Amino acid sequence: MIPALILFAITYVLMLVFSKYRPYIAIASGIIFIVAGILPLNQVFPSLDFNVLMMIAGTMGLVSLFIESKMPALLADLIMEKVPNIQWAAVCLGLFAGVISAFVDNVATVLMIAPVALAICKKLNTNPVPFIIGIAVSSNLQGAATLVGDTTAIMLGSALDMSFLDFFWYKSRPSIFFAVELGAVLSAIILYFLFRREKQPIPKLAERTVVKDYIPSVLLVGTIVLLICASFIPNKPSITNGLICCVLLVIGLVINFIKKKNLRAIVDPLKDIDFQTIGLLVGLFLMIGGITEAGVIDAAAGLLAKAGGGNLFILYTVIVWASVLISAFIDNIPYVATMIPVIAGLATALNVDPTVLYFGLLSGATLGGNCTPIGASANITGIGILRREGYEVKNSDFFRIGIPFTLAAIVPAYIYIWLMYGI
């Protein structure tokens, strides 16, 4: 067990220090786990969650086609026509980013909405930094709202065998979706307060964005509908959701190719799939499979059980706030991937329903990334967009929005989840 734990710890340190090479480090570590015999060969494929990998790849490809179609830009234009001033524009852009992010990847959401915010700020000669930060943190918040909202939600849904509808209603009670939306309402009030001095009127757009193709929108909506329908199928294959996402991506690519009659119609959307994230997950799955086989997960669960003294509320509280703190500094994907089996072992050791602990993990890890500029990929993406436009983001700029936004979102979610699933 000690060699597996040491290798795992070294891998994490290397991923933190050399963040650009994180996927390669994770894959290399996974290979070492196999070669060293810590992860037996017959457990390699069972350790990989192909449903998660296929869902991520398929959804990212569809989002690429969706962005290219200009539909997100048109939706943003429609919202801008209805707002009276900069203050409401900032709030509505944040809310709109949140709605989109509940169904597509957070980074993709920032890439969709940020150009609209930049265009408005240029026309009004207004600093775009707080706008983009607001969009990024709103995107992170809503990632936990649905099964397809974020990689961490997909991972948890797969671990608990949750359907799309289970994120709305689970075990005869309102589910985590409502915890996230409660936080979204309060955090929108925070954004409204932070932009209280921005009262300049919004000029009406000369013309709306023209949508080039409605098919990607239909396919994305179709993905959501099919995921909902699949949730009602009993004893379905474990990769059902992944197959749905990938099949609809293939349909979208074929239609795109027929229209453009060019191989780039297929190659370009595939290039937009974040294979580094997929590679990172493959490495993590192998690493976690290795430490599980070595008994590390069971030992960690035992330590947590002793630390909580068998008190479920204390354990829940520790998991939520530790997740917020840890995710403020490291990527929440490897953290959640590591903690899911720990919580499973912990629930078994204490003989309790793990739902409240899992939901606490997801909410804390998702929202914790909003505390710092490096806490989430969406934050890094937003800051990168601003840097390309010539704007440098200070830590103080981010903390001014990120920290109150996080507290406004996590506190009500923390209380709500305990009341619904802890008592």
Q: Which tens digits make up the pLDDT trace of 92-121?
A: 888 888 888 887 767 777 877 887 788 778
Per-residue confidence (pLDDT) for residue 52, from 0 to 100:
77
Per-residue confidence (pLDDT) for residue 389, from 0 to 100:
79
Per-residue confidence (pLDDT) for residue 397, from 0 to 100:
82
pTM: 0.74
Q: Which DSSP letter does residue 141 get?
A: H
Q: How far apart are CA 299 and CA 334, in angstroms?
A: 19
Per-residue confidence (pLDDT) for residue 143, from 0 to 100:
80
Per-residue confidence (pLDDT) for residue 126, from 0 to 100:
82
Report, as an integer, the average pLDDT of 322-335: 77
Q: How far apart are CA 278 and CA 285, in angstroms?
A: 10
Per-residue confidence (pLDDT) for residue 301, from 0 to 100:
67
Q: Kindly tell me if the per-residue pLDDT of 418 is higher than 90.
A: yes
Report, as an integer, the average pLDDT of 13-26: 81
Report, as an integer, the average pLDDT of 351-372: 88
Over its C-alpha atoms, the chain yields an Rg (Å, rounded) of 21
Give the closest residue to 93 by CA, choosing from 382, 372, 411, 414.
382
Q: Are 61 and 273 in contact (CB under 8 A)?
A: yes
Report, as an integer, the average pLDDT of 242-269: 92
Q: Kindly tell me if the per-residue pLDDT of 362 is higher than 70.
A: yes
Q: What is the pLDDT of residues 144-192, one digit of tens each?
A: 888 877 778 888 888 888 888 899 999 889 999 999 888 888 888 988 8
Share of the chain above pLDDT 90, in %: 18
Per-residue confidence (pLDDT) for residue 197, from 0 to 100:
82
Q: Are 138 and 187 in contact (CB under 8 A)?
A: yes
Q: Kindly tell me if the per-residue pLDDT of 138 is higher than 70.
A: yes
Q: What is the pLDDT of residues 221-240, one digit of tens each?
A: 888 788 878 867 777 887 88
CB atoms within 10 A of CB 332: 30
Q: Are 128 and 386 in contact (CB under 8 A)?
A: yes
CB atoms within 10 A of CB 228: 14
Report, as an integer, the average pLDDT of 362-384: 81
Share of the chain above pLDDT 70, in %: 97
- Segment holding 171, helix H or strand E: none
Q: Kindly tell me if the per-residue pLDDT of 269 is higher than 80.
A: yes
Confidence of residue 331 (pLDDT cuts 50, 70, 90): low
Confidence of residue 415 (pLDDT cuts 50, 70, 90): very high
Per-residue confidence (pLDDT) for residue 154, from 0 to 100:
83
CB atoms within 10 A of CB 106: 27
Q: Kindly tell me if the per-residue pLDDT of 304 is higher than 80.
A: no
Cβ neighbours for 20, distance < 8 A, ≥ 6 positions apart: none
| Range among 66-70, 152-156, 410-414 with highest mean pLDDT value | 410-414
Report, as an integer, the average pLDDT of 130-138: 90
Average pLDDT along the chain: 84
Confidence of residue 53 (pLDDT cuts 50, 70, 90): confident
Per-residue confidence (pLDDT) for residue 279, from 0 to 100:
86
